[in-house]
Structure 1
Amino acid sequence: MSSPFFSIQKYIRQHHIKLQGLVLPILLLILWQYNAGRGASQAYAFVPLQSIYSAFITLLTNGELWLNTWGSLKKAALGIIIGSFSGILLGSLMAYSKVIHGFVSPLFNSIRQVPLLGLTPLIALWFGNGESAKVFIIALASFFPLVINTFQGLSQNEHKYHELAKIYQLSVWKEFQKIRLPQAQPYILTGLNLAVPFTWITTIASELLFNAGTGLGNLMMKAEVNAEMDIILVCAISVTLLGILMTTFVHLLAKRQLKWRPQNLT
């Protein structure tokens, strides 16, 4: 029977990477708190941790944090769903049709070079300053990586699988469903994983630019006007946590969909 000492050693060996990952954040928090105590000017830039906690409790109690978090989450989720499905559709059409690829590819590659936020004035003219404009910008953020990754994944069609589809007389749809889509899944899921941070960047940026309605970006803008740095930091932490949760969901989805692979790309 192994002793408790060896059990502890085994646990530490198994989790040492996770424990190492906590060292830097803890050191940064200590440094942050140290700078917060060096004077009033430093306390404004480096808000004491206890003030951030108090602001978090206040926003949680009065319902502002829930309301604005839900507002941002709705827009981010709707944007990434619309952008992802549109990107997968266009990427598939470009991979299957040389004609569509020839027509669409030059325009697509030109537009994707333009920073999304640089298109804001044009989008505002089309959709106004409401929720539609924000969702459109967010959808574009996930649209581009999904088009590229879907096209790359479906283009990696090995000749032997194409011959196999001919032998079994599979229709175009059956070949797509049984052969090409499983091959492309790692690429598509990688594209989805890349889309998550862009989604949250554009969600907050669109809320800051179109300062109307609910959202964490709107709450941050109001806090900036009132010089409430603690609220700004609470919003920033909330966005980080939401991004981590969405990324974790994508990783779990990839793990479930790619059980057949020895090692996941995502």
Structure 2
Amino acid sequence: MSVKATVVSTEVGQKSKKGFQVNATLKTAALGAVVPLILVIAWEYLSRTGVFPPHLLPAPSVICQSLMNMSAEGNLWGHIGITLYRLFIGFLIGTAAAVVLGAAVGYLKKAESLFDPLIQAFRSIPSLAWVPLFILWMGIGEPSKVVLIAVGVFFPVYLNIVSGIQSVDRKLIEVGKIYNFSSLQLIRRIILPASLPSFLVGLRSGLGLGWMFVVAAELMGASTGIGYLLVYGQNTYSPDLIISSIVLFAILGKITDSILKTFEAKALHWQDTIEKKA
């Protein structure tokens, strides 16, 4: 077989593989939409027939109309944008702090003895308990909201980093020492790849908690954001606005989690997992 034929055969194989992956992704997305679609149809029917009181639980069509009206007025995108901004900044700060402390605690026994008891004590404090303290220190502006979100993101990422590093197989470390790896080489070639799956799971958990904390953050004196829409809907007795805000949180949370999940799949492409075999 000529070189040209080999190249063509390889390209065809790669295109076929990509096509198969796209089809598998579409099939998974379609399957995942079945249950939500059934629930929405049932919700619409029960609301239209009066089983669900419209002043308590408006129909999905009413919710969609409310979102379209806010979008047409230009208010919706501003609220979504500021919420995503707060989440993104808080997520970056919380993750950065968790990486630094988690790596130190996971790799150094003395750092674990020094810092971990205090961090575990802080982890037991309910999220809402931080709100009055942050307002007292930083007011009701953006810093207090971002810091509150960062606190929520920090703990799951920290725990997964520590767990991932400390669960690295000791035999792998010994093999690295046999090959005279330096501490930096051990971290880069053995510890980081071995703990990466746990770290990525921590990122997704941290993002999920970040969405929970952004609600708490926007409930403390915000004048913009999706959380503000929740409070405004409550004050004006607008169930369609309240449910629209909840739906927005659900959609945006799913989108951001899917982005991290895609990144996780690409970063861990070398793993031979049961999901890939399936």
Could you state the TM-score of these two structures normalised by the residue count of structure 2? 0.84
Q: 1:262 aligns to what?
A: 272
Cα distance in 1 for partners of 2:25, 2:139 equals 53
Cα distance in 2 for partners of 1:168, 1:35 equals 68
Cα distance in 1 for partners of 2:43, 2:111 equals 54
Amino acid at match of 2:255: L
Give 1:236's match in structure 2, choosing from 241, 246, 254.
246
Q: 2:85 aligns to what?
A: 74
What secondary structure, in the 3-state scheme, does the structure 1 residue paired with 2:171 have?
A: helix
Q: 1:9 aligns to what?
A: none
What secondary structure, in the 3-state scheme, does the structure 2 residue paired with 1:45 have?
A: coil
Matches within 5 A, 1:43-54: 43-54=54-65
Amino acid at match of 1:229: P
Cα distance in 1 for partners of 2:125, 2:192 equals 30
Matches within 5 A, 1:1-266: 21-39=32-50, 42-208=53-219, 210-263=220-273
What secondary structure, in the 3-state scheme, does the structure 1 residue paired with 2:112 have?
A: helix
Amino acid at match of 1:212: A
Amino acid at match of 2:270: W
Cα distance in 1 for partners of 2:217, 2:190 equals 39
Aligned-residue identity in percent: 27
Is the deviation greater in 168-177 or in 15-24? 15-24
8 Å contact kept, 1:94–1:100: yes
Unpaired runs of 5+ in structure 2?
1-23
Cα distance in 2 for partners of 1:126, 1:53 equals 40
Shift of 1:107: 1.0
Amino acid at match of 2:272: P
Shift of 1:126: 1.8
8 Å contact kept, 2:99–2:157: yes
94 and 211 in structure 1: CA distance in 2 versus 1, 3 angstrom threshold = same
Unpaired runs of 5+ in structure 1?
1-12
What secondary structure, in the 3-state scheme, does the structure 2 residue paired with 1:122 have?
A: helix
Amino acid at match of 2:157: L
Shift of 1:238: 1.4
8 Å contact kept, 1:153–1:188: yes
What secondary structure, in the 3-state scheme, does the structure 2 residue paired with 1:165 have?
A: helix
**RMSD after superposition:** 2.3
Shift of 1:236: 1.4
What secondary structure, in the 3-state scheme, does the structure 1 residue paired with 2:214 have?
A: helix
264 and 170 in structure 1: CA distance in 2 versus 1, 3 angstrom threshold = farther
Runs of 4+ in 1 over 6 A off after TM superposition: 13-17
66 and 16 in structure 1: CA distance in 2 versus 1, 3 angstrom threshold = closer
8 Å contact kept, 2:44–2:61: no
Shift of 1:264: 8.0
Shift of 1:252: 1.0
Cα distance in 2 for partners of 1:202, 1:27 equals 30
User: For residues 196-247 of structure 1, what are the alpha-carbon distances to aligned partners after superposition, in whole Å with 9 as ceiling and x for unaligned?
Assistant: 2211111012101x12242111122112211222122222111111111111
Cα distance in 2 for partners of 1:253, 1:234 equals 29
User: For residues 38-67 of structure 1, what are the alpha-carbon distances to aligned partners after superposition, in whole Å with 9 as ceiling and x for unaligned?
Assistant: 559801112123321221111101111100
8 Å contact kept, 1:153–1:185: yes
